């Protein structure tokens, strides 16, 4: 199979390349702009019907807020309600710039092209990616709207940081509108091997879209290498080291910037007296088992839940794990429930857990405690605290922050992390107990080993993991990316 493709001079599908008229910078524009599918604020309405906005909890916004405040920042993103226009407003020291989406666009650009085409394709095609031309058309239209909105709010020479797979065309579109800007892009999910990426009918436009950035950031060196290889195989692109040379001489650089968490705040949360109380109550509620295994995921087919639950089912059924002494807690945040593949997954997991529990439970309690729900950060910290073994076994994952959150919450150094080789985090968290999530027997052995390993071994591993997580925080991630971006030339 050839992995080469040439940019076609004319392409009937190249809606991304309609001629664009450059725009002038606004005189009062922001000097730092984040562009992401979602805004970092949630709307709340009080009893009197008064509407206000609250910063949504999350690592990215916490890390970028100080930079935004310092630099007169703006965040461009969708506010979460279809068919509604919301005016830009000031919030917590930065400008919030809502981008409207129609209900059809949510279906085609977001649920369709982003989450049923790109998401499975970029995750090793563990579910079948669907290719629909009308979804692509919506993706182009929406990316253009985001680019135009960013071009309207960015000041002369501003830095614009575009986030993630929903907006891969924005860098090129924005550059065409505003050649004066410094443009960065970060992909939170894996960038796939060339052979997979080439399935995409709009592969050329997506690649050109990304190359509009001065710096393209990936979670792992492997992702950056896939991207550079793809660019090299495209006849018009010379690649020197980590830089792709564009026809006009501009360089677009590609490098790994592994994302992380605010480790100290998770650590503090886990040691909060209220959280400690919560964790004790939780242990009591599940019957004070000797060993607690824990899984925490968005309910997504990339997270390896089917395989993980099967492994636990076999361990309980064979008696290798004693259901009277062991509990496996699995919590799964509801996610993308309007996408067919996710509905199917939800039903499968319900069935699987029900079957295992009905076979192996004694009358007192279920060996698998499964909750399909979202929890507050305090409850998450309480769960991390009581987990003797954290089980993070995605089939493919850009990074996986849950693994890092567990480590930050576990200053009792006897906790153990079982981690998939196919999570980006595996490149940094080398002292975890590694598994191939497709190998159910191997996974079962490693789960048993992690639970039974000597305290000295568990402590040694956990100390090394904590050192990594506390020295590579989300602040460092944002600093590293923005410093590197500032150093790139036009
Ligand atoms: P996600 O696929 O969402 O992120 P992950 O990195 O694990 O995956 O982040 C999940 C977040 O949701 C964590 O902060 C976790 O605490 C929270 N969470 C999970 N289950 C929850 C529950 N039941 N209740 C409350 N909170 C819950 C994407 C990529 C990842 C990449 C991140 C960041 O797929 O690979 O690490 O972006 O770049």
Summarised one tens digit per residue, pLDDT across range 136-158 is: 999 999 999 999 999 999 999 99
User: How far does the chain reach from its first CA to its final CA, in angstroms?
Assistant: 36
Report CA(398)–ligand 1 centroid distance (Å): 10
Report CA(334)–ligand 1 centroid distance (Å): 12
**Ligand 1 binding pocket mutation candidate from 257, 398, 422 (most atoms within 8 A of CB):** 398
**Ligand 1 binding pocket mutation candidate from 400, 409, 472 (most atoms within 8 A of CB):** 400
Residues within a 6 A CB radius of ligand 1: 188-189, 259, 296-298, 331, 333, 374-375, 380, 397-402, 405
**Torsion sign across C-alpha atoms 261, 194, 166, 115:** negative
Q: How far apart (Å, rounded) are the C-alpha atoms in residues 88 and 209?
A: 26
Q: How far apart (Å, rounded) are the C-alpha atoms in residues 140 and 18?
A: 11
Q: Which atom number of ligand 1 is nearest to the Cα of residue 219?
A: 38
Task: Name the residue with the closest Cα to ligand 1, atom 16.
Answer: 402
**∠ CA(91), CA(94), CA(95), 5° rounding?**
80
The pLDDT score that the predictor gives to residue 2 is 42
Task: Name the residue with the closest Cα to ligand 1, atom 35.
Answer: 398
Q: Which atom number of ligand 1 is nearest to the Cα of residue 331?
A: 23
Segment 442-460 shows an average pLDDT of 96
Beta bridge partner(s), residue 32 = 73, 159
Report CA(297)–ligand 1 centroid distance (Å): 7
Lowest mean pLDDT among 168-177, 330-339, 399-408: 330-339
> Packing angle between helix 263-270 and helix 377-386, nearest 10 degrees?
70
Beta bridge partner(s), residue 327 = 292
Burial of 372-403, coded b for 16+ CB within 10 Å and e otherwise, reads: eeeeeeebbbbbbbbbbbbbbbbbbbbbbbbb
Q: What DSSP state is assigned to residue 303?
A: G
Segment 402-410 shows an average pLDDT of 96
Segment 279-299 shows an average pLDDT of 96
Q: Which residues contact 107 (CB under 8 A, 6 or more apart)?
A: 338
Q: Is the predicted pLDDT of residue 255 greater than 50, yes or no? A: yes
- Assign 99 to helix, strand or coil: coil
Return the percentage of the chain with pLDDT > 70, whole number.
94
- When the pLDDT of each residue in the chain is averaged and rounded to a whole number, the result is 92
Q: Is the predicted pLDDT of residue 17 greater than 80, yes or no? A: no
Find how far residue 449's CA is from the centre of its chain: 29
Segment 178-185 shows an average pLDDT of 98
The pLDDT score that the predictor gives to residue 12 is 40
The pLDDT score that the predictor gives to residue 92 is 87
**Ligand 1 binding pocket mutation candidate from 38, 161, 220, 402 (most atoms within 8 A of CB):** 402
Report CA(405)–ligand 1 centroid distance (Å): 10
The pLDDT score that the predictor gives to residue 363 is 62
Q: Which residues contact 36 (CB under 8 A, 6 or more apart)?
A: 60, 75, 76, 77, 162, 163, 164, 167
Beta bridge partner(s), residue 44 = 52
Residue 272, number of CB atoms within 10 A of its CB = 13
Q: Which atom number of ligand 1 is nearest to the Cα of residue 333?
A: 23
Q: What tens digit of pLDDT does each residue of 184-228 get?
A: 999 999 999 999 999 999 999 999 999 999 999 999 999 999 999
Q: Is the predicted pLDDT of residue 235 greater than 60, yes or no? A: no
Q: Which atom number of ligand 1 is nearest to the Cα of residue 397?
A: 35
Q: What confidence category does residue 130 fall into, taking pLDDT thresholds of 50, 70 and 90? A: very high
Report CA(438)–ligand 1 centroid distance (Å): 21
Q: Tokens 């563990």: give the residue.
A: 126
Q: What confidence category does residue 8 fall into, taking pLDDT thresholds of 50, 70 and 90? A: very low
Task: Name the residue with the closest Cα to ligand 1, atom 20.
Answer: 297
Instruction: Give yes or no for a contact between 230 and 199, defined as CB atoms under 8 angstroms apart.
Output: no
Q: How far apart (Å, rounded) are the C-alpha atoms in residues 220 and 213?
A: 18
Q: Which atom number of ligand 1 is nearest to the Cα of residue 398?
A: 35
Report CA(427)–ligand 1 centroid distance (Å): 18
- Count the helix, strand and coil residues of the chain and give each as a percent rounded to the nearest 5: 45, 20, 35
Task: Name the residue with the closest Cα to ligand 1, atom 9.
Answer: 401
Q: How far apart (Å, rounded) are the C-alpha atoms in residues 447 and 390?
A: 9
Q: What confidence category does residue 64 fall into, taking pLDDT thresholds of 50, 70 and 90? A: confident
Report CA(365)–ligand 1 centroid distance (Å): 29
Residue 354, number of CB atoms within 10 A of its CB = 13
- Assign 270 to helix, strand or coil: helix
Report CA(290)–ligand 1 centroid distance (Å): 28
Q: How far apart (Å, rounded) are the C-alpha atoms in residues 341 and 185?
A: 28
- Assign 459 to helix, strand or coil: helix
pTM value? 0.95
Report CA(141)–ligand 1 centroid distance (Å): 28
Q: Is the predicted pLDDT of residue 271 greater than 80, yes or no? A: yes
Q: What confidence category does residue 476 fall into, taking pLDDT thresholds of 50, 70 and 90? A: very high
Beta bridge partner(s), residue 251 = 245
Q: What confidence category does residue 19 fall into, taking pLDDT thresholds of 50, 70 and 90? A: low
Report CA(330)–ligand 1 centroid distance (Å): 14
Q: How far apart (Å, rounded) are the C-alpha atoms in residues 425 and 400?
A: 6
Q: Tokens 């305090």: give the residue.
A: 378
Segment 30-56 shows an average pLDDT of 91
Q: Which residues contact 87 (CB under 8 A, 6 or more apart)?
A: 98
Q: What tens digit of pLDDT does each residue of 425-434 get?
A: 999 999 999 9
Q: What confidence category does residue 62 fall into, taking pLDDT thresholds of 50, 70 and 90? A: confident
The pLDDT score that the predictor gives to residue 56 is 83
Report CA(92)–ligand 1 centroid distance (Å): 24
Report CA(429)–ligand 1 centroid distance (Å): 17
Phi-psi region of 483 (alpha: psi -120 to 50; beta: other; left: phi over 0): alpha
More confident site: 92 or 142: 142
Lowest mean pLDDT among 1-15, 89-103, 349-363, 438-452: 1-15
CA trace torsion 303, 306, 311, 315 (10° rounding): 120
Report CA(402)–ligand 1 centroid distance (Å): 6
**Ligand 1 binding pocket mutation candidate from 333, 387, 408 (most atoms within 8 A of CB):** 333
**Ligand 1 binding pocket mutation candidate from 401, 469, 474 (most atoms within 8 A of CB):** 401
């Amino acid at each position: 199979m050839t992995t080469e493709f040439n940019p076609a001079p004319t392409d009937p599908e190249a809606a991304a390349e309609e001629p664009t008229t450059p725009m002038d910078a606004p005189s009062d524009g922001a000097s730092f702009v984040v562009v992401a599918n979602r805004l970092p604020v949630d709307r709340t309405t009080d009893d009197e019907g008064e509407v206000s906005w609250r910063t949504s909890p999350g690592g990215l916004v916490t890390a970028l807020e100080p930079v935004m405040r310092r630099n007169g920042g703006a965040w461009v993103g969708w506010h979460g309600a279809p068919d509604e226009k919301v005016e830009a407003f000031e919030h917590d020291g930065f400008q919030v710039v809502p981008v409207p989406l129609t209900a059809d666009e949510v279906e085609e650009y977001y649920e369709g092209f982003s989450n049923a085409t790109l998401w499975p394709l970029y995750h090793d095609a563990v579910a079948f990616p669907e290719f629909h031309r009308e979804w692509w058309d919506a993706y182009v239209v929406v990316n253009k709207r985001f680019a135009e909105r960013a071009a309207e709010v960015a000041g002369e020479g501003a830095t614009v940081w575009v986030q993630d797979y929903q907006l891969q065309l924005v860098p090129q579109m924005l550059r065409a509108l505003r050649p004066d800007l410094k443009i960065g892009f970060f992909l939170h999910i894996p960038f796939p091997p060339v052979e997979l990426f080439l399935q995409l009918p709009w592969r050329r436009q997506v690649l050109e879209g990304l190359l509009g950035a001065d710096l393209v950031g990936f979670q792992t060196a492997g992702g950056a290498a896939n991207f550079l290889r793809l660019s090299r195989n495209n006849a018009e692109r010379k690649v020197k080291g980590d830089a792709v040379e564009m026809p006009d001489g501009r360089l677009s650089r590609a490098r790994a910037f592994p994302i992380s968490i605010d480790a100290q705040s998770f650590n503090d949360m886990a040691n909060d007296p209220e959280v400690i109380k919560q964790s004790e109550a939780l242990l009591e509620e599940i019957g004070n088992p000797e060993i607690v295994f824990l899984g925490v995921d968005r309910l997504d087919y990339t997270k390896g839940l089917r395989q993980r639950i099967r492994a636990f089912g076999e361990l309980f059924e064979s008696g290798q794990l004693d259901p009277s002494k062991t509990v496996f807690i699995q919590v799964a945040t509801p996610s993308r429930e309007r996408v067919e593949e996710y509905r199917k997954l939800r039903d499968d997991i319900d069935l699987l857990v029900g079957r295992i529990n009905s076979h192996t439970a004694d009358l007192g309690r279920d060996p698998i405690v499964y909750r399909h729900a979202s929890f507050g950060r305090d409850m998450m910290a309480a769960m991390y605290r009581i987990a003797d073994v954290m089980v993070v076994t995605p089939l493919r994952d850009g990074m996986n922050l849950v693994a890092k959150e567990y480590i930050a919450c576990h200053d009792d150094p006897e906790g153990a992390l079982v981690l998939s080789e196919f999570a980006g985090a595996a490149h940094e968290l080398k002292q975890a107990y590694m598994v191939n999530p497709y190998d159910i027997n191997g996974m079962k052995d490693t789960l048993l080993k992690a639970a039974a390993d000597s305290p000295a071994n568990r402590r040694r591993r956990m100390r090394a993991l904590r050192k990594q997580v506390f020295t590579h925080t989300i602040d460092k991630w944002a600093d590293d990316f923005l410093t590197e971006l500032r150093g790139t030339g036009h």
